[in-house]
Every structure is written in C-alpha cells, then in structure tokens.
C-alpha cells in the first residue's frame, strides 16, 4: 500500500484496509474487524486454516476454496452453519468495507481534493484502469487540460485513449517490475 511506503495517496474509491459503519460513519482498521470475525466464529476461523487452494472444498474447510484472485468460494450447503458478523462498536450498525461500490458517490471533499491535485500535478500516470467511471476519468482529463504529462499503462481500451499521448498496452505485473529494475522505461519515439 502506498501509504505504508511513505507516500500520501488519496484513495479515490476508498480502501479495503478499513471498515465503516453505514449507519453512523464510524471507521476502524479492517484487521480489527477480521479479528472480531474470527473470535465470533471459531469454527470458521479454524476452517480458513484448512483451505484447499483451487480444489473443491473439503468438509473440514466447510467446502471453502480460494480462487487465484484471493476470493473465497463457499459451497451453499455450508451456509446452514451459523456465521456471526460483527456490528459497529459505536452504534451496533452494519459494517462494510470502506470502499465506494457501484452506484455510490465519491464523498464531495475527497472528490474536490483529488481534482485539485490532478490540476496541480506535473505528471499523471494511470495504472491498470479503464477509466470508465467518471470519477477516475475526470482526473486524467483535468491533469491533461492543465498541461501535465499524462500516460496510461493498461491492457485494453480506456476512456482517455483519445486524449492521453502515451498509452502502453501491457499488464502491470509484467511492465512495473521492468521499470523498477531499470529505473526507467525507454519508449520509442513516434514519428
């Protein structure tokens, strides 16, 4: 995470490293929430330790299996087991990851802060985004219109392909290690 690396990023669409109460807005670290989940569900916590990676889940792991993307699939028949979800420690409300879901709006103060940063930057690099949401697209557009050097690294079409002068059609997992190893990335001149 960039914030742990000493940077001060604005996480436009939130972060999965914290949870927030949808009733009162109280927020706290995700790892504390996970500890509460384990404490409330000791059988499930033990089952997590028995996960079958990529194989059909066993009885010992309640039929859970971990997919390559890190998500966990749980066989429907095991949802009959009791599972307790922690509630907000302040108001007993419903907790969710502190991210903006489809259909939700970016909080106004965060949106204003990011657009101002985009307008003031010297360079704007888009990594692994199609920019199909307006909240992301308008940032690169604002940076471009303010005269910042703009570039995109993404596989496939992005919403800003027609305004950004440099587009590298590559997977981040392949291109970023090369950049880090070399310290820069040579791009042939277009002309």
| The pair of three-digit structure tokens given for residue 102, joined into one six-digit string | 């489809």
Q: Do residue 76 and residue 140 come from a single domain? A: no
Domain boundary among 43, 76, 99: 99
Strands 27-29, 14-21: pairing is antiparallel
Q: What is the DSSP letter of 190?
A: P
Domain boundary among 55, 74, 99: 99
Pair 62, 41: CB distance under 8 Å: no
Q: What whole-number distance in Å separates Cα of residue 9 and Cα of residue 125?
A: 13
Residue positions annotated with a catalytic role: 13
Pair 109, 129: CB distance under 8 Å: no
User: Which of 127, 126, 120 minimizes the C-alpha distance to 142?
Assistant: 120
Q: What is the pLDDT of residue 5?
A: 47
Q: Do residue 119 and residue 75 come from a single domain? A: no
Instruction: Provide the residue range defining the domain that includes 111.
Output: 107-182
Q: What is the pLDDT of residue 114?
A: 92
- The number of folded domains in the chain is 2
H-run or E-run covering 45: helix 42-48
Q: Do residue 50 and residue 26 come from a single domain? A: yes
Pair 137, 159: CB distance under 8 Å: yes
Residue 3 resides in a domain: no
Domain boundary among 81, 99, 117: 99
Query: pLDDT of the chain along its 191 residues, tens only?
Result: 445 545 667 788 888 899 999 999 999 999 999 999 889 988 777 777 766 554 555 556 666 777 776 677 776 666 666 778 899 999 999 999 999 888 888 889 989 999 999 999 999 989 889 999 888 999 999 999 999 999 999 999 999 999 999 999 998 888 888 877 776 555 555 54
Q: What is the DSSP letter of 77?
A: G
Q: What whole-number distance in Å separates Cα of residue 87 and Cα of residue 71?
A: 22
Q: Which residues in 26-148 belong to E strands, given as ranges? A: 27-29, 52-53, 65-66, 72-73, 95-99, 123-127
Pair 58, 49: CB distance under 8 Å: no
Q: Do residue 178 and residue 129 come from a single domain? A: yes
Q: What whole-number distance in Å separates Cα of residue 60 and Cα of residue 79?
A: 14
Q: Do residue 31 and residue 83 come from a single domain? A: yes
CATH of the domain at 114: 3.40.50.1220
Residue 189 resides in a domain: no
């Amino acid at each position: 995470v960039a914030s742990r690396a000493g940077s001060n990023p604005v996480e436009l669409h939130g972060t999965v490293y914290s949870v927030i109460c949808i009733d009162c807005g109280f927020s706290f670290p995700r790892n504390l929430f996970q500890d509460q989940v384990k404490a409330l569900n000791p059988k499930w916590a033990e089952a997590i330790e028995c996960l079958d990676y990529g194989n059909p889940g066993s009885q010992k792991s309640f039929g859970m299996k971990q997919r390559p993307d890190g998500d966990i699939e749980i066989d429907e028949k095991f949802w009959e087991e009791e599972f307790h979800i922690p509630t907000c420690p302040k108001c007993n409300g419903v907790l969710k990851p502190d991210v903006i879901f489809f259909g939700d709006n970016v909080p106004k103060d965060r949106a204003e802060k990011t657009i101002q940063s985009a307008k003031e930057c010297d360079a704007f690099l888009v990594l692994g985004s199609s920019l199909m949401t307006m909240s992301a697209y308008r940032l690169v557009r604002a940076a471009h219109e303010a005269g910042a050097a703009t570039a995109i690294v993404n596989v496939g079409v992005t919403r800003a392909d027609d305004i950004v002068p440099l587009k590298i059609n590559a997977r981040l997992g392949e291109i970023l290690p090369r950049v880090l190893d070399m310290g820069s990335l040579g791009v042939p001149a277009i002309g």
